[in-house]
């Protein structure tokens, strides 16, 4: 079998051994936590213990965490809730401000809400991939109800000034701020208290937990209406029988991660990769990580004159798994909206690869990627 090298950790991460063990043990907690008998109470207690662990790690109150099925659900919950709690019950459409480089689960939801009557504005980013908070002042209106800016970008890794955005929102009255922290948890220190946001989304499979379990921080219950109706689970904010094994696994994953240890382990690999990329035979390699204030594991690089999709497929045939920011749509390859927002020309955009490292990445993996890239690129010139 070919050697397989996984370098797409921003898409999803392997489930760690300790999390696998915690999940397997938790499968015995099969009772419905809403029931009254002792085994059900045990399931409920494990949920609340997990909530305590997660809130401690994220520096917030336990009751402010609700469990969801995915980061996309958490993001949808915030936007749809802010829309439907005010409109169509008034004749004034709510106004949302999103950064131009948000995840598709926010961008697409906003587009749908616009079809229903919401006003949507996009906070642009500069050529380095950072939003400019001072531009918010001119964008805020009397109907602005939410500003949503992701903490760390999934394609280029930029870490955004969320505290500055919160300060501006507070200057303009009671405007809520949401941040999608799916890519940040485990990679950088995250304190919800320090950030000061009203909502924060996170997803377990981005930091060694299984897929299908995620969370949403909610500062005040009154700010949120249910996305899923039914039972009274999660303080009546998210109906559905709780995913007890998933919740226990999520707590185990977040308990065992240490952002400082993560950075210390990843930085040498990043340096090795960047140094190696500079020595490749391709003459005009372009880095799309525009600044040092980025996630340590995320490298976005373009090879002008080479299709990023084609290169990714060739790497896959060699056993290396990376991604592109572009997407196939109706038979055509669409450029990354993130790189587009940064002003990257379309041809460079479509020649880009995202390489995202993880705790399982080894120096040998980097060497294999570099040698394979060198071989593939030499054939194109």
Summarised one tens digit per residue, pLDDT across range 213-228 is: 999 999 999 989 999 9
Distance CA 20, CA 249 (A): 7
Distance CA 316, CA 3 (A): 11
Distance CA 192, CA 215 (A): 13
Cis peptide before 88 (omega within 30 of 0): yes
Distance CA 312, CA 318 (A): 10
Residue 281 clears pLDDT 90, i.e. is over it = no
pLDDT score of 327: 54
Q: What are phi and psi of 158, to 5 degrees?
A: -60, 135
Active site residues: 328
**Average predicted confidence (pLDDT) for the chain:** 93
pTM: 0.94
Distance CA 209, CA 250 (A): 5
Q: Of 57, 293, 348, whose CA–CA distance to 156 is shortest? A: 293
Residue 113 clears pLDDT 70, i.e. is over it = yes
Q: Is 174 exposed, middle or buried (0-12, 13-18, 19+ CB in 10 A)?
A: exposed
Contact (Cβ atoms closer than 8 angstroms) between residue 99 and residue 148: yes
Question: How many residues are recorded in the chain?
Answer: 381
Can you tell me the mean pLDDT for 173-190? 96
173 pLDDT band, cuts 50/70/90, is confident
Can you tell me the mean pLDDT for 252-264? 96
Residues above pLDDT 90, as percent of the chain: 86
* Longest alpha-carbon distance in the chain: 70
Residue 241 clears pLDDT 50, i.e. is over it = yes
Can you tell me the mean pLDDT for 171-177? 92
Can you tell me the mean pLDDT for 21-43? 94
pLDDT score of 330: 44
């Amino acid at each position: 079998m070919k050697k397989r090298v996984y370098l797409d950790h921003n898409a999803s991460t392997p489930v760690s051994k300790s999390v696998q063990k915690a999940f397997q043990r938790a499968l015995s907690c099969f009772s419905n936590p809403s029931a009254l008998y002792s085994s059900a109470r045990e399931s409920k207690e494990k949920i609340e213990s997990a909530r305590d662990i997660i809130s401690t790690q994220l520096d917030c109150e336990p009751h402010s965490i609700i469990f969801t099925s995915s980061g996309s659900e958490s993001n949808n919950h915030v936007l749809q809730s802010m829309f439907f709690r005010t409109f169509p019950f008034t004749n004034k459409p709510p106004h949302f401000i999103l950064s131009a480089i948000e995840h598709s689960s926010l961008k697409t939801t906003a587009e749908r809400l616009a079809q229903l009557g919401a006003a949507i504005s996009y906070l642009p980013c500069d050529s380095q991939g950072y939003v400019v908070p001072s531009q918010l002042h001119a964008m805020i209106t009397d109907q602005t109800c939410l500003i949503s800016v992701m903490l760390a970008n999934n394609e280029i890794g930029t870490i955004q000034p969320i505290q500055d955005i919160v300060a501006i929102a507070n200057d303009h009255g009671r405007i809520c701020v949401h941040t999608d922290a799916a890519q940040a948890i485990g990679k950088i220190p995250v304190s919800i208290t320090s950030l000061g946001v009203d909502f924060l989304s996170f997803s377990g499979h981005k930091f060694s937990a299984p897929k299908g379990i995620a969370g949403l921080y909610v500062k005040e219950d009154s700010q949120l209406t249910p996305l899923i109706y039914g039972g009274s689970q999660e303080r009546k904010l998210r109906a559905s029988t709780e995913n007890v094994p998933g919740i226990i696994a999520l707590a185990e994953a977040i308990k065992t991660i240490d952002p400082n240890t993560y950075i210390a382990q990843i930085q040498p690999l990043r340096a090795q990769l960047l140094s190696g990329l500079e020595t490749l035979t391709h003459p005009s390699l372009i880095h799309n990580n525009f600044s040092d204030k980025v996630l340590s594991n995320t490298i976005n690089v373009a090879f002008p004159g080479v299709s990023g999709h084609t290169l990714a497929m060739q790497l896959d045939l060699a056993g290396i798994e990376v991604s592109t920011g572009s997407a196939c749509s109706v038979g055509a390859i669409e450029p990354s909206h993130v790189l587009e927002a940064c002003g990257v020309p379309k041809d460079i955009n479509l020649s880009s690869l995202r390489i995202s490292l993880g705790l399982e990445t080894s120096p040998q993996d980097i060497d294999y990627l570099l040698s394979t890239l060198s071989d593939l690129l030499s054939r194109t010139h």
